[in-house]
């Protein structure tokens, strides 16, 4: 009884509940035939949302106004540059990954430099950076589609004991992020800044340093995600990140992280990412048209947020 | 001797009249309120008659703010009843307002993004229709002038731009103002916590005038002098009950403190001999290019005095920020800050009491950047005992504490650090007498070990505890007083004289 009640006070429980319902409904429709395939696909595609979602969640935790809109452009440029550099050679896999991470570092610094030097809101600063990054990707890509190295391509598309490798990578990153958030001084700091920046400053927290690290972290995670996604889908495409702009924000919000900052949770991001993929595939299985599908997706998301949000407000 | 002397009969009749004239304004009887495991009110009675000022005193967490919230309708008591004007009415905020109950909260409750006149509109719905702004300005201006003559507040300014003292003045004025109908009962919860002595005296004079005209006031304050001089009757609360309810003339400061359950201690603060030896640990050139320079030495207790809002808080912020990087984590914390405006720069509302307490000393209780929960718990329990934070569990949310107890947590946060310099921005707002004395004792022993305290206070009693005092006027230091020179007279002289000392 008390355990159940404790469970229901967790904000992430609702995204998982919704995920299970949608999964059951979809599997019932297909008579159970697709359950394994559906689960594997859900885990794979959710993993990409989880990786960018975690980064976005750290930024959103910093408090009102903090958001990173450069996520899709960063993914695209990272995928494009990494594949170009690796040039289908297996020996260059690590060099490619390192380049991606360095690129994320640079974009994160660029984002925060703009926020700090020009004193513009993060939403504008990251959007401006995103145009620069996207244009660089277009210039670097020039319509060529370069394949990923063989080993990397097979790693990203295969599974270990039935669990997609991508999902395992996302899980490891989630655990690291969870430790960072809940156990370290840094995690306390970003939560404090999200609740009251001035109070955080007056308790001796280096506010600017912490925010800079957080924007870098978000950009690095987006870069890693772009690197993995490009390898998974057999080459970088210029629009490969576009879907993840809203996705990265949606999974954070549906997952139960407070949009006003200061409070975040990682399990919710998994629930929300799985849910977002399963809703679309459920509606596909039922054979709805594209327009109707989008309307339903929107309505279902609103419903989940209403249920979860109603819970949170009476704490 | 006739059995009834006529004079006595007349006297009796007169007294009868007086009793019937003193109608009940509001009465709360046998009220019980619990928050989780905490019994905030445990069968408390409070009756306020028309035309009297009732003083309400008690510890932090004694239930003062809770009973106020019951009377103003925002809390529903779990047992007991509340009646307005003798009739039990439906309970609720709108009922209480309709009966003429107004409340000035301890946590200032103006909207910071609105102007003074817009805030007046929020409180007074009847300020509707064409040209309400002009009427709102006139209303607030008139009321401010009546309570605080010569205040100098611009009613078109945004609340954000006002100092905390000015906000308190505006909120008090808005609550006393009435367009069609004057309020019948005004509840003042710590109204003078941010006001200096002059403004506080103006407010007390106005309360007497308001009461003389038939209004009622419930005055909550930790400054016992105010309570004794202004109230007709004093109610003392302890642990959610009323433990004394007598005419104010029957109390003295000593008996009042004893009624609250404290042992009276004589204020004997052995001032150490001049500690100004060696290099200063903290120094600042004269602010705004004039006045005196600021210096602090090891183990000193330095007071920042002067009228409220004359640059003391800004000085503390400058001192703090100049010693604290915004980019790199400090390897060793050497300066800590105790906030006065706790909702603005003090507490983290989503967190537990423990997390709020430990945030400034995370570096000392963690290894390799991982916070050690056991050591955090030990730290928390140690300070819970030392400064008596009233809670069953340090894992409870910070907002479950009363205002004074939240302030204690902020104190503990700063004192728990290894910082050798502690800046305090009028931190005793809303802290009860007993706790104040305990905190003074802690400060004294910490100063003896070489900690330096820089203390801005609006209370003369606290300024007198300091070794050395800087008096502020218009943003600059105009006088420095040391040792026996620190008297109320000298401080006031320096704060009003137009800076001859400079």
Angle of the A93-117 helix axis to the A71-86 helix axis, nearest 10: 150
- B348 and A191 within 8 Å at the Cβ level: the answer is yes
For every residue of B434-446, DSSP letters joined together read: HHHHHHHHHHHHH
Partners of residue A185 in chain B, C-beta under 8 Å: 362-363, 366, 369, 371
In chain A the domains, ranked by start, together with CATH numbers, are 12-26+34-313 (1.10.3470)
Distance of CA A200 to the CA centre of its chain: 27
Q: At what angle do helices A150-157 and A165-182 cross, to 10 degrees?
A: 80
pLDDT in tens, A33-59: 677 888 888 899 999 999 999 999 999
Backbone angles phi, psi at B44, to 5 degrees: -95, 145
Chain A contacts to B (CB-CB under 8 A): 179, 183-186, 188, 191-192, 195-196, 198-209, 212, 258, 262-263
**Residue-wise pLDDT tens digits, B237-261:** 887 888 888 888 888 877 887 777 6
- Chain A interface disruption, residue of B362, B415, B416, most A CBs within 10 A: B362
Pairwise CB contact (< 8 Å): B349 & A195: yes
> What is the ipTM metric for this complex?
0.83
Q: What is the pLDDT along chain A (315 residues), one digit of tens a residue?
A: 456 666 666 767 777 888 888 888 888 877 766 778 888 888 999 999 999 999 999 999 998 889 999 999 999 999 999 988 888 888 888 999 999 999 999 999 999 999 998 889 999 999 999 999 999 988 887 767 788 888 888 888 888 888 899 999 999 999 999 999 989 999 999 999 999 888 898 888 899 999 999 999 999 999 999 999 999 988 888 888 888 888 888 888 888 777 777 788 888 899 889 988 888 888 887 778 778 877 887 887 787 777 765 544 433
Q: Which residues on adjacent β-strands are paired with residue B234?
A: B55, B246
B303: tokens are 């007071």
Tell me the per-residue pLDDT of A149-185, one tens digit each, with 9 for 90 and over: 888 888 888 888 888 999 999 999 999 999 999 899 9
Let me know: does A271 contact A16? Beta carbons within 8 Å: yes
**What is the rounded distance in angstroms from the CA atom of residue A291 to the CA atom of residue B455?**
66
- State the smallest CA–CA distance between residue B496 and chain A in angstroms: 31
Q: Please indicate whether, in this complex, the C-beta atoms of A208 and B327 are within 8 angstroms of each other.
A: yes
CB B56 within 8 A of CB B251: no
Query: Taking the CB of residue A118, how many other CB atoms lie within 10 A of it?
Result: 11
Is B328 an interface residue toward A (CB < 8 Å)? Answer: yes
Q: Is B264 on the interface with A (CB under 8 A)?
A: no
B283–chain A Cβ distance below 8 A for any pair: no
Q: With beta carbons less than 8 A apart as the criterion, state whether A198 and B344 touch.
A: yes
**B324 contacts in A (CB within 8 Å)?**
201, 204
SS3 B479: strand
- Which chain A residue shows the shortest CA-CA distance from B357? A203
Helix intervals (H) in B99-223: 116-123, 132-147, 164-176, 197-212
Tokens of B196: 């200096």
Catalogue all structural domains in chain B, each as residue range(s) with its CATH number: 23-259 (3.40.50.300), 282-334+419-496 (3.40.50.300)
pTM of this structure? 0.75
């Amino acid at each position: 009884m008390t355990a159940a009640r404790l469970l229901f006070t967790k904000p992430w429980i609702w995204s998982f509940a919704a995920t299970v319902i949608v999964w059951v409904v979809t599997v019932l429709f297909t008579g159970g035939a697709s359950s394994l395939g559906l689960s594997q696909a859900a885990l794979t595609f959710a993993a990409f949302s989880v990786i960018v979602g975690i980064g976005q969640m750290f930024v959103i935790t910093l408090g009102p106004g903090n958001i990173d809109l450069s996520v899709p452009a960063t993914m695209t440029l990272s995928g494009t540059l990494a594949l170009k550099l690796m040039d289908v050679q297996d020996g260059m896999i690590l060099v490619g990954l390192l380049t991606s991470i360095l690129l994320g570092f640079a974009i994160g610094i660029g984002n925060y430099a703009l926020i700090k030097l020009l004193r513009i809101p993060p939403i504008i600063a990251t959007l401006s950076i995103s145009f620069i990054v996207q244009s660089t990707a277009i210039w670097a890509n020039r319509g060529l589609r370069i394949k990923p190295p063989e080993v990397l391509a097979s790693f990203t598309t295969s599974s270990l004991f039935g669990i997609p490798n991508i999902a395992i990578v996302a899980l490891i990153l989630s655990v690291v992020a969870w430790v960072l958030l809940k156990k370290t001084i840094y995690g306390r700091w970003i939560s404090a800044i999200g609740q009251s920046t001035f109070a955080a400053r007056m308790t001796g927290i280096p506010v600017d340093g912490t925010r800079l690290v957080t924007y870098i972290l978000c950009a690095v995670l987006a870069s890693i995600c772009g690197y993995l996604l490009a390898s998974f889908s057999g080459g970088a495409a210029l629009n490969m990140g576009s879907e993840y702009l809203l996705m990265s924000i949606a999974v954070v919000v549906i997952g139960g992280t407070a949009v006003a900052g200061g409070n975040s949770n990682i399990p919710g991001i998994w629930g929300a990412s799985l849910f977002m993929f399963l809703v679309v595939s459920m509606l596909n299985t039922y054979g709805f048209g594209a327009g109707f599908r989008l309307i339903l997706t929107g309505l279902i998301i609103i419903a989940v947020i209403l249920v979860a949000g109603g819970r949170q407000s009476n704490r | 001797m006739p059995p009834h002397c006529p004079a006595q009969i007349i006297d009796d009749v007169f007294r009868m009249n007086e009793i019937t004239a003193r109608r009940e304004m509001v009465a709360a009887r046998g009220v019980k309120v619990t928050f989780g495991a905490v019994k905030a009110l445990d069968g408390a009675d409070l009756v306020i008659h028309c035309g009297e000022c009732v003083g309400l005193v008690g510890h932090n967490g004694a239930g003062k703010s809770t009973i106020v919230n019951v009377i103003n309708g925002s809390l529903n008591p779990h047992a007991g009843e509340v009646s307005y004007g003798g009739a039990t009415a439906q309970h609720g905020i709108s009922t209480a307002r309709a009966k003429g109950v107004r409340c000035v909260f301890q946590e200032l409750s103006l909207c910071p993004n609105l102007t003074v006149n817009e805030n007046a509109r929020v409180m007074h719905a009847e300020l509707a229709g064409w040209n309400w702004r002009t009427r709102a300005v006139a209303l607030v201006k008139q009321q401010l002038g009546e309570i605080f003559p010569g205040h100098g507040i611009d009613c078109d300014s945004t609340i954000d731009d006002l100092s905390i003292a000015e906000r308190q003045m505006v909120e008090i004025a808005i609550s006393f103002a009435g367009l069609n109908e004057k309020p019948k009962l005004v509840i003042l919860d710590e109204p003078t916590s941010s006001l200096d002595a002059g403004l506080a005296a103006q407010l007390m004079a106005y309360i007497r005038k308001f009461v003389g005209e038939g209004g009622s006031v419930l005055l909550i304050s930790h400054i016992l002098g105010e309570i004794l001089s202004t109230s007709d009757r004093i109610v003392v609360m302890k642990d959610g009950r009323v433990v004394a309810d007598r005419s104010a003339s029957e109390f003295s400061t000593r008996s009042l403190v004893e009624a609250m359950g404290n042992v009276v201690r004589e204020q004997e603060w052995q001032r150490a001999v001049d500690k100004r030896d060696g290099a200063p640990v903290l120094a600042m050139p004269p602010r705004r290019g004039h006045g005196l320079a600021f210096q602090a030495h090891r183990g000193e207790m330095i007071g920042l005095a002067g009228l409220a809002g004359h640059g003391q808080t800004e000085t503390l912020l400058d001192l703090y920020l100049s010693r604290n990087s915004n980019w790199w984590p400090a390897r060793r914390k050497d300066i800590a800050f105790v906030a006065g405006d706790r909702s603005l720069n003090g507490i983290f509302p989503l967190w537990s009491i423990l997390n709020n307490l430990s945030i400034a000393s995370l570096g000392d209780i963690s290894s390799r950047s991982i916070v050690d929960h056991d050591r955090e718990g030990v730290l928390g329990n140690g300070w819970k005992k030392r400064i008596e934070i009233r809670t069953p569990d340090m894992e409870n949310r910070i907002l479950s504490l009363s205002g004074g107890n939240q302030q204690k947590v902020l104190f503990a946060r700063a004192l728990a650090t290894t910082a050798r310099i502690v800046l305090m921005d009028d931190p005793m707002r809303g802290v009860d007498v007993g706790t104040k004395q305990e905190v003074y004792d802690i400060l004294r022993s910490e100063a003896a070990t070489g900690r330096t305290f820089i203390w801005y206070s609006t209370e003369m009693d606290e300024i007198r505890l300091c070794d050395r005092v800087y008096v502020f006027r218009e943003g600059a230091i105009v006088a420095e007083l040391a040792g026996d020179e620190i008297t109320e007279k000298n401080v006031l002289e320096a704060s009003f004289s137009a800076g001859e000392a400079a």
